[in-house]
């Protein structure tokens, strides 16, 4: 088999560095690759107490990955869970069956204790309940939680719907905590709405942004 000589002098390395490198369409050479773009679809800004924050439009087959960013989520009540649930009927019902895995890492401000642990008491096993994605959120004046959640291929009518989140916050006591949650919505119906709320009381303030990641 003949080898194809690659002329690296023909490439603009600045462009390659900012985009990437991939095989060309004939698979006999290289070309620059354009990475997937991230498009802001919606922003929910919470400036006074609300029972939940929902996204009921913009979740469809346009994107196969959706990213939610949480910025300074602050609860009205102390020591509560920040939670998620999904809908397949445009937000009329949030009751998709879910199974999750919950882990957290924490460190007390006093330095007295640390932990890296799997928390099965915060998991769901084929439950339609809201899924905790952050535990023990404090309502101190300076306390809040921030992080991200990825939802993969929600419009699929073939596969279950996977999601992964990581949220960091100052929780009750006070403690710096990272919470890691992975799970899936056990439905082959398309998910078209997402809701966030607290396990008790309102969301007092914060910003949640929803992005679509191009295929």
> Which H/E stretch holds residue 88?
none
Residues 193, 87 contacting (CB under 8 angstroms): yes
The token pair that represents 193 in the structure block: 């709405």
Q: How many domains does the chain have?
A: 1
What single-letter DSSP state applies at residue 174? T
Answer whether residue 83 is part of any domain: yes
The token pair that represents 95 in the structure block: 């009751």
Answer whether residue 33 is part of any domain: no
Let me know the angle formed at the C-alpha of 21 by 15 and 27, rounded to the nearest 5 degrees.
135
Answer whether residue 103 is part of any domain: yes
pLDDT tops 60 at residue 12: no
Parent domain of 52 = 38-213
Q: How many helices (H) and strands (E) does the chain have?
A: 1, 14
The domain that holds 207 is classified in CATH as: 2.60.120
65-109 pLDDT, tens per residue? 999 999 999 999 988 999 999 999 999 999 999 999 999 998 888
pLDDT tops 50 at residue 30: yes
Answer whether residue 202 is part of any domain: yes
Answer whether residue 24 is part of any domain: no
Query: Would you say the C-alpha torsion 194, 198, 204, 207 has a positive or negative sign?
Result: negative
Answer whether residue 208 is part of any domain: yes
Q: CA–CA separation, 53 vs 202, rounded Å?
A: 10
Mean pLDDT of the chain: 86
pTM of the model as a whole? 0.82
Answer whether residue 5 is part of any domain: no
Residue, of 115 and 147, whose pLDDT is higher: 147
Answer whether residue 17 is part of any domain: no
């Amino acid at each position: 088999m003949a080898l194809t000589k690659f002329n690296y002098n023909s490439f603009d390395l600045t462009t390659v560095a900012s985009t990437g490198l991939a095989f060309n369409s004939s698979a006999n050479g290289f070309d620059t690759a354009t990475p997937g773009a991230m498009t802001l679809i919606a922003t929910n800004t919470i400036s006074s107490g609300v029972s939940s924050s929902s996204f009921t439009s913009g979740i469809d087959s346009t994107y196969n990955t959706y990213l939610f960013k949480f910025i300074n989520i602050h609860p009205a009540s102390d020591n509560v869970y920040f939670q998620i649930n999904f809908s397949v009927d445009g937000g009329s019902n949030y009751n998709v069956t879910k199974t999750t895995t919950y882990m957290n890492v924490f460190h007390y401000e006093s330095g007295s204790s640390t932990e890296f642990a799997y928390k099965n008491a915060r998991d769901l096993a084929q439950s339609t309940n809201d899924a905790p994605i952050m535990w023990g959120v404090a309502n101190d004046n300076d306390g809040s939680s921030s992080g991200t959640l990825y939802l993969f291929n929600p419009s699929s009518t073939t596969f279950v719907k996977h999601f992964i989140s990581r949220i960091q916050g100052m929780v009750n006591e006070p403690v710096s905590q990272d919470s890691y949650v992975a799970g899936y919505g056990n439905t082959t119906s398309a998910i078209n709405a997402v809701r966030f709320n607290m396990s008790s009381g309102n969301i007092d303030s914060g910003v949640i942004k929803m992005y679509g990641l191009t295929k």
